[in-house]
Structure 1
Amino acid sequence: MLTSNGYVLDESDSRLAELEPVPPTERADRDALWSRLRRDGYLYLKGQLNPDQLLDFRTFYFASLGEANVYQTGTDPREGIAAPGEVDRAALRRGLFDRIVPGPEYQALCTAQGIAGWFAWFLEDDVHLHRRKIIRHTKPGEGGIGTATQAHYDLVYLREGSDRVLSMWIPLGDCPRERGGLAYLEGSHHWVMAEEREGTLKKPAASITADLPGLAEERDARWLVTDYEVGDVVVHSAHIVHAALDNVDRGGTMRLSTDIRYQRLSEPIDWRWQEHWNDDDGL
């Protein structure tokens, strides 16, 4: 049973389907990729990144939070087994915002082979990586509204710059659907763009809803899900609606992922995204 923020997804064929990976024959065909991105709103690139580099960073991330009671004492931080008991929120903020987010390890990850060079190739221009990059982990068993990322599209948070920003979501470790990966609302970028042009969508930065099954019913659409493997990424437009599933992993493994944003350097850049992510940045 798949859930998001406690809402149970309708798993009928009309409401749930598989995310479609880019076939190998199109991976080096820029025109084919652009056609696919315009049609689907996303590019699911399997095996795009070096798994060892991602797992090394996973180890660094959890080890950096050793004082916060995030991972279970006596286990390898690479495994990301959730610790029992309460997290030390002050220690978590120190590790995350003082060490991990501004650190060279994270920057190296976000500009690694298969990322910065790929965007420069795909966009055929000099590219800009937004300094505000988000990384988060989710423990199994956390539930209720606000636990998983609610349904939203990225443009509502990026209105001070180009609307052609591309996001890359990177699972830092295997992320089968029961571990809480991203789900995309099929075809949603088409109605989002239409309603953006008409000015009928909300302007403040806000999620659409936590009720994924209700939104699918309202829009007569399917949520697209998959079992992500370490090394996979999804590149998506600023208009497609997406959300996270709840982590219900029975082995206690945490989901760790990051989402980063690239755009052409020549296009307007949202100034609010040019500082490191912190919990007081208002976005």
Structure 2
Amino acid sequence: MPHATVSQPTTAFYVNDGLLSPERVGRLQPSSPSEPLDELRRRYEQDGYLFLKGLLPRQDVLKAREAYFDLLAPSGVLAPDTLPVDGIFDGGKDKLDFPGIGAGSTDANGRPRGGLFVDLALQAHSEPWYKDDFCKHPALRSFIAKLMGWGDDTLGLARSLLRNNTPHNKAIGVHYDQIFLRHGEDTSITAWVPMGDIALDGGGLIYLENGHTLGREIETGFFNKAKQTGLTDEEAKDAFNKNMMGGGLLAEGPKEYGEEHDRRWLVTEYEAGDVVLHTPYTIHASTINKDPKNVIRLGTDLRFVNSSRPYDKRWTNIYEFGDGV
């Protein structure tokens, strides 16, 4: 069974603040979607994540990847004479002109630099092949409905973050998702879906070991302090967000953050069809994409809620810059 103990990675993992030391690196534990649901629920609650191998049909994922890079090709991001589905970055271009959503520098209006590339990356969120087909894939929704016990009340939120990460560019900083979903209950679930194969050094998501317990402690501690000062719940939410770093981050650098909290970062390689489910408090980040073949990392964050419970209605609209979330 794939959930058996896996070997320690030996690859060098670079993050925004440097190289992760080997003793601060561990492995994500894989699971199979065919295992008993009770066991999968136990792992999800215990570990704060569930790394599912092959939940989605590989060809469906690669079809969406191809459509994405077909759309972005006019920006000049792809290497000449390469196939869109391969997503090979043109190494002769300035990587800073091709920033990932949520990870690049912004202009005075809060828009990432990148011109046509960024405009097309934003447009992809509204394309039917993405919002209607990929984000609503029945294999994903039905699995979450069974795992969480929500049945027909399982709702995929329209707002998602379809992120690319070109080689050697800035990576995603340290955060947990409840930071962005605080106008609803803390009962949502995130599905991070790699859209294509991602090598160990290819910029995939990394998870802080037992980070879901730390995330909940951070949230609870801040709210307790806020309430002691006489703030209402709404005022506490606003105060919490104002005390976060830019973009809602706990920290820019996973290296220092892991050392500060004496925890490892869990890593893995990903294959098209894999999905990681994680809780609203699971702390995660990403590595810098060091893929030697210049493969662009592409992945999306999809959020699901129990529609019979209060949830953050700001997430019912398709993502756009400056939407206030």
Deviation larger for 157-166 or 207-216: 207-216
How many residue pairs were aligned? Answer: 274
Q: What is the SS of the residue equivalent to 1:164? A: coil
1:270 aligns with 2:318: no
Q: 1:61 to 1:3 in 2, by over 3 A?
A: same
Letter in 2 for 1:148: A
Mapped to 2, the partners of 1:263 and 1:254 lie a distance apart of 30
Which residue of 18, 21, 27 corresponds with 1:10? 21
Letter in 1 for 2:125: V
Partner of 1:103: 127
Mapped to 1, the partners of 2:262 and 2:35 lie a distance apart of 34
Q: Report the alpha carbon displacement of residue 70 of structure 1 after superposing the two structures with TM.
A: 1.4
Q: Report the alpha carbon displacement of residue 2 of structure 1 after superposing the two structures with TM.
A: 0.8
Q: Report the alpha carbon displacement of residue 248 of structure 1 after superposing the two structures with TM.
A: 0.6
2:187/2:305 contact within 8 Å kept: yes
User: Where does 1:118-197 land on structure 2 (aligned, <5 Å)?
Assistant: 118-125=143-150, 126-142=153-169, 147-197=170-220
Measured on the aligned residues, the alpha-carbon RMSD in Å equals 1.8
User: Where does 1:178-217 land on structure 2 (aligned, <5 Å)?
Assistant: 178-199=201-222, 203-204=240-241, 206-217=248-259
Mapped to 2, the partners of 1:6 and 1:217 lie a distance apart of 12
Q: What is the SS of the residue equivalent to 1:53? A: helix
TM-score, length of structure 1 as denominator length: 0.91
Runs of 4+ in 1 over 4 A off after TM superposition: none
Q: Report the alpha carbon displacement of residue 6 of structure 1 after superposing the two structures with TM.
A: 4.3
What do the CA deviations read for 1:147-167 (whole angstroms, capped 9, x no partner)?
111010000111001211100
Q: Report the alpha carbon displacement of residue 28 of structure 1 after superposing the two structures with TM.
A: 4.1
Mapped to 1, the partners of 2:190 and 2:289 lie a distance apart of 22
What do the CA deviations read for 1:157-202 (whole angstroms, capped 9, x no partner)?
1100121110011111111121100100001111221332233697
Letter in 2 for 1:128: L
1:253 aligns with 2:300: no
Segments of structure 1 that go 5 or more residues without pairing to the other structure are none
Segments of structure 2 that go 5 or more residues without pairing to the other structure are 1-11, 99-113, 226-238
Mapped to 2, the partners of 1:40 and 1:237 lie a distance apart of 9
What do the CA deviations read for 1:130-149 (whole angstroms, capped 9, x no partner)?
1111111111122xxxx111
Q: Report the alpha carbon displacement of residue 94 of structure 1 after superposing the two structures with TM.
A: 3.3
Which residue of 266, 270, 273 corresponds with 1:228? 270
Mapped to 2, the partners of 1:253 and 1:238 lie a distance apart of 29
Mapped to 1, the partners of 2:46 and 2:311 lie a distance apart of 25
Mapped to 2, the partners of 1:134 and 1:195 lie a distance apart of 24
Q: What is the SS of the residue equivalent to 1:114? A: helix
1:177/1:245 contact within 8 Å kept: no
